[in-house]
Amino acid sequence: MKTVQEEIRKGPWTEQEDFQLVCFVGLFGDRRWDFIAKVSGLNRTGKSCRLRWVNYLHPGLKGGKLSPQEERLVLELQSKWGNRWSRIARKLPGRTDNEIKNYWRTHMRKKAQEKKRAMPPSSPSSNCYSASCNPTDVSIPSTGTREEIFYDTTEWNTPASTDQKSNQMEKNEVIYSMDDIWKEIAFTEGKYINPGFDAYGGVGCDFSCPPVSSPSWEYSSDKIWQLDDEENMLPTMENNLFAHHEV
DNA sequence: AACCATGCCAACCGCACGATG
DNA sequence: CCATCGTGCGGTTGGCATGGT
Q: Give the per-residue pLDDT at A87.
A: 81
What length is written for chain A? 247
Nucleotide nearest to A45 (CA to C1'): B12
pLDDT-above-90 percentage for chain A: 0
Of A1-5, A34-38, A79-83, A208-212, the range with the lowest mean pLDDT is A1-5
SS3 of residue A39 by DSSP: helix
- The CA-CA-CA angle for residues A221, A224, A230, to 5°, reads 115
Residue type, A209: C
- What is the rounded average pLDDT of the residues A138-164? 37
Give the pLDDT confidence of A175-199 residue by residue, as tens digits: 334 455 555 544 544 443 333 344 3
**In which band, very low, low, confident or very high, does the pLDDT at A3 lie, cut at 50, 70 and 90?**
very low
Q: Does the CA dihedral A214-A28-A46-A78 come out positive or negative?
A: positive
**Average pLDDT of chain A to the nearest whole number:** 59
Is residue A35 packed enough to be buried (19+ CB in 10 Å), middle (13-18) or exposed (0-12)? Answer: middle
Residue type, A124: P
Task: Check if the beta carbon of residue A102 is closer than 8 Å to that of residue A77.
Answer: no
Task: Please give the C-alpha separations between residue A56 and each of A13, A41, A49, A52, A178, in angstroms, as whole numbers.
Answer: 10, 19, 10, 5, 7
Phi-psi region of A178 (alpha: psi -120 to 50; beta: other; left: phi over 0): left
Give the pLDDT confidence of A197-213 residue by residue, as tens digits: 443 333 444 444 444 43
In whole angstroms, C16 C1' to A237 CA is 35
Residues with CB under 7 A from strand C: A 31-35, 46-47, 50-51, 83-87, 97-98, 101-102, 105, 148, 151, 153-154, 161, 164-165, 167-169
| A98 CB and strand B closer than 7 A | yes
